[in-house]
């Protein structure tokens, strides 16, 4: 069976600075796949290349269709929800408006979607009128995830979800991500915290200066001591 997402020799640059070189990776339907690597290795850019928020070359196929010429709005409509680093919530807008924006690409069904998403984040419903910027960091990350789910995506791109959050919040976040995955959502997650990511993911890619340096199952990568020390830093 063809993978749900397939990147073949994807390159990207910011202005004249190349950041990604011929990155190829696949994600099968129902998988959690992690992208690991040091700061500046190109992890965030990989996600941005997929969602079309950076200029890219190469082939990107999602569910059998090429999306490498799609803009971000079209990628979102195709069923990929991207939760950017730093959350990308609309801090001036209310929690409810943030969730409405999550469902922007869908027509109707807002109430049912809200109910479904509130199942994972029960506190969201009571705080609908609060400006998103007044939530705590952990709540904002949860809101960003909830907003992404409102679009009923087939695939979730998560960029550093654990960044700046307390361990107990991170644990709760990954518990929800696993639960979503068990219900069929495919996840591609970028993490600095390699141990956490390998724990949740079935496979991982390690990026180094914009290239795929290594790829393997989480067990293989976690077992390899020298790799852990040189690339993953734990």
Point out which residues bind other proteins (CB under 8 A).
51, 53, 71-73, 76-77, 81-82, 84, 88-93, 97, 100-102, 104-105, 147, 151
Least Å from the CB of residue 161 to other proteins: 15
Nearer to other proteins (CB atom), residue 140 or residue 218: 140
- For other proteins, the closer of residues 3 and 153 by Cβ is 153
- Quote the DSSP letter at residue 231: I
Residue closer to other proteins by CB (options 14, 234) is: 14
User: Which of 192, 204, 146 is closest to 37 using CA atoms?
Assistant: 192
Which residue's CB is nearer to other proteins, number 84 or number 216?
Answer: 84
In this complex, which beta carbon is closest to other proteins, that of residue 36 or of residue 156?
156
From the CB of 188, what's the least distance to other proteins, in Å? 14
Radius of gyration of the chain (CA): 17
* Distances in whole angstroms, Cα of residue 87 to Cα of each of 14, 112, 123, 164: 21, 24, 18, 11
For the bound state, the minimum distance from the C-beta of residue 113 to other proteins, rounded and expressed in Å, comes to 13
CB 160 within 8 A of CB 191: yes
Could you tell me which of 141, 74, 152 has the C-alpha nearest to residue 110?
Answer: 152
CB of 10 to other proteins, least distance (A): 18
| Structure tokens given for 120 | 């994972």
Question: What minimum distance in Å lies between the beta carbon of 22 and other proteins?
Answer: 25
- Which residue do the tokens 């609309």 mark? 90
Structure tokens that stand for 64 in this block? 């059998």
């Amino acid at each position: 069976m063809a993978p749900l997402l397939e990147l073949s020799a994807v390159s990207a640059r910011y202005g004249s600075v190349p950041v990604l070189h011929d990155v190829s990776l696949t994600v099968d339907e129902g998988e959690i796949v992690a992208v690991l690597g040091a700061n500046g290795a190109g992890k965030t850019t990989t996600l941005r290349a997929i969602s079309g928020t950076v200029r890219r070359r190469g082939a990107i196929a999602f569910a059998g269709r090429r999306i490498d010429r799609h803009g971000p709005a079209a990628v979102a409509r195709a069923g990929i929800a991207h939760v950017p680093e730093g959350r990308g919530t609309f801090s001036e807008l209310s929690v409810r408006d943030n969730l409405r924006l999550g469902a922007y690409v869908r027509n109707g069904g807002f109430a049912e979607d809200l109910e479904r998403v509130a199942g994972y984040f029960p506190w969201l419903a009571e705080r609908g009128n609060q400006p998103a910027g007044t939530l705590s960091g952990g709540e904002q990350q949860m809101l960003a995830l909830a907003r992404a789910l409102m679009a009923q995506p087939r695939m979730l791109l998560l960029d550093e979800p654990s960044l700046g959050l307390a361990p107990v919040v991170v644990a709760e976040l990954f518990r929800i991500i696993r639960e979503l995955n068990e219900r069929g959502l495919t996840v591609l997650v970028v993490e600095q915290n390699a141990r956490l990511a390998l724990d949740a993911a079935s496979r991982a890619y390690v990026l180094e200066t914009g290239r795929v340096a290594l790829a393997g199952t989480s067990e293989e990568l976690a077992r390899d001591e020298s790799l852990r020390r040189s690339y993953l830093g734990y």
